[in-house]
């Protein structure tokens, strides 16, 4: 690890870059040896935490650790320049799909953005690592299906009615085993009156792109997150359309958490608090409503900030 980070100079960018390299190397070298993976991960985190504590963070920089979607969608690029211009702070964004709260515990982040239901949110806050989470915005899943839409769900008022029509017409539905999507399907099934899951309902333990590929191949319907679908669709051109997106059930709320300076003394609390206040401000919440993916007119990001 020391060789990998020989050019480390204490900046958050270098830290996050080195951290991601080590994690990738560990996972590729010993992917299935769980004990060794956990040991190496612990060593890596402690090593980088020590380096970070030796560095003096720039007080004009806010270190933002976030899950993938706010960054990959372009939403943060849409929002952050205005904050930097107004506040004088510069935001360094570190994107990760896992271990985001491990990174925050190491003192390498000032503010964290993740889905509100992320399993590590509760222990991170209750163990004193972070301040109380503030909802800021919501991404969403969508119902995908064949362009000819044999179940006629395109004009359905909500997911329950769409699912009822799919069941009634015995149109193929492909379950997406992603845990968040599965929850949406379970609620939708209950709301639709628990229709009998016959041969039309295909639960083959397929997740994400696998479920979408199979749905496209058999002319079926499936749920998936809008952001991963658009990224995947750009390279694969599946015969699937976005047929329903307006049901609030499909929204996934995200929250931001200021890291607690009592546990991470080098945290830039003024900068993190300023960014949190900016994200929850009425002006920014209104601006979130106007964000659009390229070449799409539908709204897929929703303001979720609440002052209550």
Q: What integer pLDDT is reported at residue 307 of this predicted model?
A: 67
Q: What integer pLDDT is reported at residue 64 of this predicted model?
A: 97
Tens of pLDDT, residue by residue over 79-112, are 999 999 999 999 999 998 668 999 899 889 999 9
Tens of pLDDT, residue by residue over 9-53, are 334 444 444 444 444 444 444 343 444 444 444 455 445 544 544
Q: What integer pLDDT is reported at residue 29 of this predicted model?
A: 42
Backbone angles phi, psi at 261, to 5 degrees: -65, -20
Contacts of 6 (CB under 8 A, 6+ apart): none
Positions in the chain short of pLDDT 70: 1-56, 97-98, 307-308
Q: What integer pLDDT is reported at residue 18 of this predicted model?
A: 46
Q: What integer pLDDT is reported at residue 147 of this predicted model?
A: 97
Contacts of 2 (CB under 8 A, 6+ apart): none
Q: What integer pLDDT is reported at residue 38 of this predicted model?
A: 44
Reported pTM: 0.79
Rg (CA), the chain: 21
C-alpha dist (Å) from residue 188 to 147, 158, 163, 183: 22, 9, 7, 8
Q: What integer pLDDT is reported at residue 264 of this predicted model?
A: 79
Q: What integer pLDDT is reported at residue 44 of this predicted model?
A: 52
């Amino acid at each position: 690890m020391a060789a990998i980070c020989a050019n480390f100079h204490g900046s958050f960018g270098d830290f996050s870059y080195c951290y991601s390299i080590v994690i990738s190397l560990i996972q590729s070298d010993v992917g299935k040896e769980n004990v060794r993976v956990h040991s190496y991960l612990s060593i890596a985190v402690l090593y980088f935490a020590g380096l970070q504590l030796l560095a003096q963070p720039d007080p004009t920089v806010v270190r933002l650790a976030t899950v993938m979607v706010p960054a990959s969608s372009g939403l943060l690029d849409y929002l952050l320049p205005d904050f930097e211009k107004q506040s004088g702070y510069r935001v360094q964004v570190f994107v990760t799909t896992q271990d985001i709260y491990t990174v925050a515990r190491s003192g390498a982040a000032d503010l964290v953005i993740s889905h509100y239901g992320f399993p590590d949110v509760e222990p991170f806050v209750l163990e004193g690592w972070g301040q109380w989470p503030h909802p800021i915005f919501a991404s969403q899943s969508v119902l995908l299906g064949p362009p000819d839409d044999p179940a006629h769900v395109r004009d359905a008022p909500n997911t329950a009615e769409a699912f009822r029509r799919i069941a009634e017409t015995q149109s193929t539905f492909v379950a997406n085993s992603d845990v968040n999507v599965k929850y949406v399907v379970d609620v939708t099934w209950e709301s639709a009156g628990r229709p009998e899951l016959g041969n039309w309902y295909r639960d083959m333990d397929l997740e994400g792109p696998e479920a979408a590929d199979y749905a496209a191949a058999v002319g079926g319907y499936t749920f998936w997150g809008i952001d991963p679908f658009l990224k995947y669709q750009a390279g694969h051109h599946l015969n699937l359309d976005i047929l329903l997106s307006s049901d609030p059930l499909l929204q996934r709320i995200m929250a931001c958490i200021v890291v607690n300076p009592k546990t991470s003394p080098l945290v830039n609390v003024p900068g993190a608090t300023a960014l949190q206040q900016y994200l929850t401000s009425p002006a920014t919440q209104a601006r979130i409503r106007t964000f659009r993916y390229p070449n799409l007119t539908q709204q897929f990001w929703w303001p979720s900030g609440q002052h209550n």
